[in-house]
Amino acid sequence: MDFQWTSTVYAILAFGLLYWLLSKYAFGPLFGIMEKRREMVQEQITTAENNRKASEKFLVDQQAALEQARKDAYDIIEQAKTTSVKQADDIVKTAKVEATRLKDEAVKDIESEKNKAIAVLRGEVGGLSVKIASKIIEKQIDEKSQEKLVGNYLKEVGGRS
C-alpha cells in the first residue's frame, strides 16, 4: 500500500471543513442546549436545597409551637386546678359562715322561746300561788307553812326549767 500524501491532505482539509461547519452550525446550539440543561439542573439543586432548609426550619418551628402548646395546656390545667381549689375553699368557708349564722339564730330562737316559757311559767306560778294561798287561808294554815309550801313549789317548778 502506497502512502499518498494528497489524500491525507484532502482528508485533513475535509476534516477541518467538517469541524468548522459543525462548530458553526451544530456545536454552538448543542453546547447551548447542554449549558441550559446544566443551568436548569443547578437551579433545581439550589431549589431543592432551599426547600430542604425551609422544611427543616418549618419542622423546628412546628416542634417549638407544639412544645409551647403543651406548656400552655399544662398552665391552663394548673390554673383550673388552682381555681377549683379556691372555689372549693370559698364554698366551704361560705357554708361554715352560713352554718354559724344559722346556729346563732337557732340559739337566739331557743333563748327567746325559753324566756317566753319562763314568763308563762312565772305567770302560772303566780296563779298557782294565789290558789295555794286561798286554799291555805281556807284551811287556816299559819304563815310558816305557807312559805314552806310556796318555796317547795317554786323549787319544783324551777327544777323543771
CA-to-CA separations, 53 to 40, 42, 48, 59, in angstroms, rounded: 20, 17, 9, 10
Helix then strand then coil, in percent of the chain rounded to 5, is 95, 0, 5
- pLDDT of the residue at 136: 63
- pLDDT of the residue at 146: 67
Judged on CB neighbours under 10 Å (0-12, 13-18, 19+), 123 is exposed
Q: For each of the chain's 161 residues, which pLDDT tens digit applies?
A: 577 888 889 999 999 999 888 888 888 888 888 999 999 999 999 999 999 999 999 999 999 999 999 999 999 999 999 999 999 999 999 999 999 999 999 999 999 999 888 888 877 877 777 777 777 666 655 667 767 777 787 777 766 55
- pLDDT of the residue at 54: 96
Pick from 149, 144, 158, 157: nearest CA to 131: 149
* 47/28 Cα distance (integer angstroms): 28
Q: How far apart are the first and last CA of the chain?
A: 161
* 78/3 Cα distance (integer angstroms): 103
- pLDDT of the residue at 41: 96
Pick from 127, 125, 124: nearest CA to 153: 125
Q: Would you tell me the crossing angle of helices 28-139 and 143-160 to the nearest 10 degrees? A: 160
What's the whole-model pTM score?
A: 0.42
* 83/91 Cα distance (integer angstroms): 12
